[in-house]
Amino acid sequence: MREIVWDTETTGIMPGDGHRIVEIGAVELFNRTMTGRTFHTYLDPQRAMPKDAEKVHGLSSDFLTGQPIFEQVVDDFLAFIGDAPLVAHNAAFDMEFLNWELKRASLQPIPMSRAIDTLEISRKTHPGAKHTLDALCTRYGIDLSARTKHGALIDAELLARVYIELTGGRQIGFDLASTAAAEDTRYERVSLAARAHNASEEELARHAAFVAGLDDPLWLS
């Protein structure tokens, strides 16, 4: 099964207030394994970057000016995701921004039914715990050392690992036959000669002496 784990960075919280996507990162999973195929782009939002947002992801107006605009990359992005389910942390946020951008580009929105929300899964799986991406990475022992600020691609890669753990780990669907075959190549099989199981004459004599010494055995009653 093919799935896409993705994330966005934006200029703010609400697209209806004029905020835009400035970065998209996505990674491909196939049968719950990262394939190495990714999609990543920065976007020129064609507006100023608020300082509060810049503190979160480190993307300045100077850096983003001259990057592609959404309309220039949307075809490549849609081709990458295909018809796969879209996994995101707080999926409603990313889907709302994506569909706002699609509307601006006169394209059809993507239905929310395609979204898988890891935040919702975490709340059901770990009630009362913290559900941030950082907290989930810590819970599952996923290395966060490369994450100094929010970034769409690195967050998508981390979330892919979290998603696999949240939904049962890599053991789901694991091919035990393939594993056994692989293990056969690690160990040399050694055949041993069959061992005789008949009692020796000495053992038979000791047994007869033991039985003769029993007082009133049950099988003679």
| pLDDT tens digits for range 21-48 | 999 999 999 999 999 999 999 999 999 9
Q: Is the pLDDT of residue 188 over 90?
A: no
Q: Which amino acid is at 192?
A: L
Q: Tell me the CATH architecture of domain 2-166.
A: 2-Layer Sandwich (3.30)
Q: What is the pLDDT of residue 196?
A: 55
Side-chain-side CA neighbours of 3 within 13 Å: the count stands at 22
Q: Where are the beta strands (DSSP E) in 64-197?
A: 86-88, 115-117
Q: Which amino acid is at 172?
A: I
- pTM of the predicted model, to two decimals? 0.76
Q: What is the pLDDT of residue 218?
A: 59
Q: What confidence tier does 173 reach under pLDDT thresholds 50, 70, 90?
A: very low
Q: Which of 40, 57, 150, 197 is catalytic?
A: 150
Distance CA 80, CA 73 (A): 11
Phi, psi of 38 (to 5 degrees): -135, 160
Mean pLDDT is highest, among 64-78, 138-152, 197-211, for 64-78
To the query of whether residue 150 is one of the catalytic residues in this protein, the response is yes
Phi, psi of 2 (to 5 degrees): -95, 130
Provide mean pLDDT across the span 84-97: 98
Q: Is the pLDDT of residue 9 over 90?
A: yes
Q: Which amino acid is at 37?
A: R
